[in-house]
């Protein structure tokens, strides 16, 4: 081989190596955000619970917004921004707990609905969401194999000013949803009120904690101890230290599941 051909061959090999390295770097850089997105999604994977009527799948969307699925039916709890409902299934039923914008969002309700969607909500919500049917504290309704109980959700001591509360008693609902013998509790905006502490036979509890509006994690843990669900999942917890909540339930036999309700 002459010198010119040798140099040309070396240059060709170097060029191939450079192109391959550039391609690997390009793929790595552009794949990295998607890998992070996958990790964030994995942190909020749907939770599936067996029941005598078939599995119930519960998917955290953000903050208080939750998708519940069973036997082909879709239930949204508190559909609200920043969730984008384009590409998500339309609701068969929507449940709304309170009048604040992170629970009652008319735009999101519209986006999550189809012409056949039914809506159940606290009576104060019905004043704005006029297509909803009221379900007041203490009432029970049935829907498509589900039993829906409205549990009082309110503040005991926290409010925007002396003598005022963020959530007045009688206005907002938590919900106990029973399906196939399993009982699922969603607290709504509340402190550890007597009605929560008196709950019985809860299989899975979704419990709020965020100051100044509801309660700190140590108070939430104390309330959970009182009604002793089999599983508890913190939600509506922006700014809270979940390690404090988890530590408060050590040794109780209650399974604590920590999910990511605030994907980036």
Local structure of 88: helix, strand or coil = coil
Local structure of 101: helix, strand or coil = coil
Q: What is the pTM of this model?
A: 0.83
Dump pLDDT digits (tens) for 8-64: 443 443 344 344 443 333 333 333 333 333 333 333 689 999 999 999 999 999 999
Dump pLDDT digits (tens) for 166-199: 999 999 999 999 999 999 999 999 999 999 999 9
pLDDT at 1: 45
pLDDT at 264: 77
What percent of the chain is predicted at pLDDT more than 70?
83
Cα–Cα distance for residue pair 75/120, rounded to 1 Å: 11
Per CATH, which fold does 42-256 belong to? Answer: Metallo-beta-lactamase; Chain A (3.60.15)
Averaged confidence pLDDT in the chain: 86
Cα–Cα distance for residue pair 236/148, rounded to 1 Å: 20
Q: How many CB atoms lie within 10 A of CB 259?
A: 19
pLDDT at 199: 98
The ranges assigned to domains in the chain are 42-256
Which runs of E-coded beta strand occur in the chain?
47-49, 56-62, 65-70, 73-77, 93-96, 118-121, 133-134, 140-143, 146-153, 172-179, 182-186, 204-207, 231-234, 255-256
Total count of residues recorded for the chain: 264
């Amino acid at each position: 081989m002459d010198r010119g051909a040798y140099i040309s061959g070396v240059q060709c090999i170097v060029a191939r190596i450079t192109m391959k390295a550039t391609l690997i770097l390009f793929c790595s850089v552009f794949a990295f955000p998607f890998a992070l997105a996958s990790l964030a999604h994995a942190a909020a994977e749907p939770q599936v619970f067996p029941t005598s009527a078939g599995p119930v799948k519960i998917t955290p969307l953000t903050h208080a917004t939750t998708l519940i699925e069973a036997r082909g039916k879709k239930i949204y709890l508190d559909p609200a921004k920043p969730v984008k409902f384009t590409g998500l299934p339309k609701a068969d039923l929507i449940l709304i707990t309170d009048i604040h914008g992170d629970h009652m969002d008319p735009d999101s309700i519209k986006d999550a609905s189809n012409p056949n969607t039914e809506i159940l909500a606290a009576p104060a919500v019905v004043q704005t969401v006029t297509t909803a049917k009221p379900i007041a504290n203490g009432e029970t309704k049935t829907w498509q194999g589900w039993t829906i109980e409205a549990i009082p959700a309110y503040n005991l001591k926290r409010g925007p000013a002396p003598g005022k509360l963020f959530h007045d008693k009688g206005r907002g609902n938590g919900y106990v949803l029973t399906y196939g013998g399993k009982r699922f509790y969603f607290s709504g905006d509340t402190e550890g009120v007597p009605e929560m502490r008196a709950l019985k036979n809860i299989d899975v509890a979704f419990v709020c904690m965020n100051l100044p509006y509801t309660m700190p994690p140590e108070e939430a843990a104390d309330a959970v101890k009182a009604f002793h669900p089999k599983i508890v999942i913190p939600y509506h917890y922006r700014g809270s230290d979940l390690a404090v909540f988890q530590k408060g339930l050590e040794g109780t036999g209650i399974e604590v599941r920590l999910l990511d309700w605030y994907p980036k």
